[in-house]
Amino acid sequence: MSAAPAPPPPAPDPVAELHRSGSLAAEYPRLPALLRDLGEDERQRAGRLLSRLSPDEVLAGNPGIPTVSVAVTGHGTVAGIVPPLTMELARHGMLLRPHVADFGGWLFDLADPASEVYAAGTDLVVCLLAAGIVFDEVPRPWRPEDVERVLAEKVHLLDKLAATHGASGSGTLVYTTMPLPREFTAQVVDHRSRARLGAVWREGNARLLGLMDDHPGLVVLDLDPVLSGPAALAEARLATYAGTPFAADLTAAVAREVAHLARGRSGRAKKVLAVDLDNTLWGGVLGDDGPEGIEVADGRTGRAFRRMQQAVKQLASRGVLVAAVSKNDVEPVREVLREHPGMTLREDDFVRVVANWAPKHDNLRALADDLNLGLDSFVFADDSAYECGLVARELPAVTVLHLDGDPALHAERLLADDWFGVRDLTDDDVRRPGRYREELVRKDFLDSFSSLDDYLRELDVRVELTAAAEADMPRLAQLTQRTNQFNLTTRRLQQDEVGALAGSPGNLVLAIRSGDRFGDNGLVGAVFVRTDGPVWHIDNFLLSCRVFARGIEQGCLAALLEHARAERAEAVAARYVPSPKNGKVRDFYPRNGFDAHGHTEDGTADFRHDLRQIDAVPAHLGLTMRWEREGTR
């Protein structure tokens, strides 16, 4: 009897190979692609290896890597979050610079503005909360009423700590909700008391989640949805002997959520979902099966595709730009989207329907040009391994989701990494898909003119440049976080930081709104100016990519310079800080009359305008200004 063939050797772990060769720090930019194809065990091992790297060593060879500074505190031992958080940030092309607080020191860390957590000047302060902060202080024996009292005290304390951080700290404070372990519910033997305890606990977590309404710099991560997956709450021995409040799987899941938050905060949230149609949004192949033969809503697999369509429609309603990219003839596709009775998604849910036989990576490039967005803003979802592999190879900046296998899992896979997540959603976000559809109509309108000047005259561009009102703060903060191309310094601000600047003497925060013959673009830009001296300083100037090249930026800058001269300023200074995406505006200030006034080796450049000769506002622009905040007269 012949011997069974030897099993194939395991596939090499590329991250481990880089570690063994000593080149992990130097090759850090390759990690998003390498980690994408690793299994969960390999990713955990990668996290342990990456957490041993010195951030300074990585930055020495890769100075352009975005770095996220995170302080971690909480109830018990919290250092376990560092390896998975390091790995998750590396997946998104970012580098972690961690600060881990002492065991159980969360109260001191957050209450004292002189603590190491505040001194670290972090982007994120993550406070891992657990049931122990309540049950460590209830009497023994305890009743649900005792838990209710202590829990209310703790939520009130967390409210005060959030206010302290808002006044004295930097960046975003992150709380977790507190899951209730079965260990405590089982200690009350009657079901009536268990129900009472569950109600008390849920009410406390609801109040904790509600603190976000009062503190713009606070995010509360709800762990209930995380625990609905495979993550266990705690491991009894680690909780008892090491004071580790969360099991490894839950810690990894929390790290994933924190990384998503850091990605959105740094302006790297995705904006476009480009999705295939055949066997992705409906079952079957339209060209072969016809409109009557595809599975849309009925039957077992039809229900799976309806679930996927419902998820995509919900994303579109929350400001995600959804585009169809399909190898099909366009008219049958439009017929299905308009007329098929089982479709949840309709043509108006898409900013663009691209159906042709060109390679999908070419269609994605063209779509990015039409939308004036970078390819790194795109998520591409397709059931075909071939199409996914080709797009990943040709367009490495695009995030590729291979939705293979059972369509009942399509929606879960699409949503798993919260690619489009942001801290706050504004009215402008909700209106974004409609405005981009209008923008594509503008592009078609432009194509009908022989010159850009003729087009701009007919477009009837209207601009308002006004001192920012209180209601503008969420959108202005979001613009600083999400605008990358026309962003002169890429300084990211939270809502409370924008509000503090707008409300302080010697600062002028200007909001830019625009509209034209095709509709209202909303709040599309901002200018941050320090006016507390003879030389005014433009700390940042930013504008949505939706409204480039219409003279809006030149008109607003000219109006600001005229205002500075009228207020008897001697000059206006400005700075350009380079980033991987804002190279197209490096010459914005010199093109508008500013003189060079020094530069550094990293490309940062200072400019100055003496206010003697100011360019005119473009003639095609209808510009109105208001320099004082409403209600300040």
What is the DSSP secondary-structure string of 440-486? HHHHHHHHT-S-HHHHHHHHT-EEEEEEPPGGGHHHHHHHHHH--SE
Q: Over the chain, what is the mean pLDDT? A: 89
Query: Which span out of 220-234, 272-286, 297-311 was modeled with the highest average pLDDT?
Result: 272-286
As a whole number of angstroms, the distance between CA 364 and CA 370 comes to 10
Whether 631 shows a pLDDT value over 70: the answer reads no
Look at residue 234 in the predicted model and tell me its pLDDT: 64
Cα 345 from Cα 313, distance rounded (Å): 6
Residue type, 208: L
Query: In 3D, which of 127, 161, 93 has the Cα closest to residue 254?
Result: 127
Alpha helices in 270-352 (DSSP H): 286-293, 299-317, 330-339
Considering only residues 437 and 143, tell me which one the structure prediction assigns the higher pLDDT.
Answer: 143
Given this model, what pLDDT does residue 279 score? 94
Sheet holding 272-275, edge to edge: 352-356, 321-327, 272-275, 378-382, 399-402
Q: pLDDT at position 557, please?
A: 95
pLDDT tens sequence across 477-502: 988 988 888 899 988 888 888 998 99
pTM value? 0.75
Q: Is the pLDDT of residue 456 over 90?
A: no
The closest of 8, 146, 123 to 66, measured between CA atoms, is: 123
Structure tokens given for 564: 């500075």
Q: What is the pLDDT of residue 633?
A: 46
In the predicted model, is pLDDT for residue 98 greater than 50?
yes
Higher pLDDT, 519 or 617: 617
φ, ψ at 513 (rounded to 5°):
-120, 150
266-286: pLDDT as tens digits? 878 899 999 999 999 999 989
pLDDT value of position 372: 84
Is residue 7 scored above 60 in pLDDT?
no
* Residue 293, pLDDT score: 87
Helix (H) or strand (E) holding 624: strand 622-626
Angstrom distance (rounded) from CA 344 to CA 313: 8
Q: What is the per-residue pLDDT for 510?
A: 95
User: 479 and 525 in contact (C-beta within 8 Å)?
Assistant: yes
Range in 98-107, 271-280, 461-470 with the lowest mean pLDDT:
98-107
- State the average pLDDT over residues 10-17: 80
Q: Higher model confidence: residue 632 or residue 67?
A: 67
Q: Is 179 left (phi over 0), alpha (psi -120 to 50) or beta?
A: beta
Residue 241 has pLDDT above 70, yes or no: no
The structural domains of the chain, ordered by start, are 66-265 (3.40.50.1110), 272-415 (3.40.50.1000), 456-626 (3.40.630.30)
Question: In the predicted model, what is the mean pLDDT of residues 141-170?
Answer: 94
pLDDT tens, residue by residue, 363-394: 999 999 888 888 999 999 999 998 999 999 99
Residue keyed to tokens 């959804």: 322
pLDDT number for residue 490: 87
> Which of 132-146, 216-230, 439-453, 506-520 shows the lowest per-residue confidence on average (mean pLDDT)?
439-453
For residues 56-80, give the mean pLDDT. 91
pLDDT (0 to 100) of residue 548: 79
Q: Look up residue 126 and give its two tokens.
A: 């993550």
Q: How far is CA 17 from the centre of its chain?
A: 31
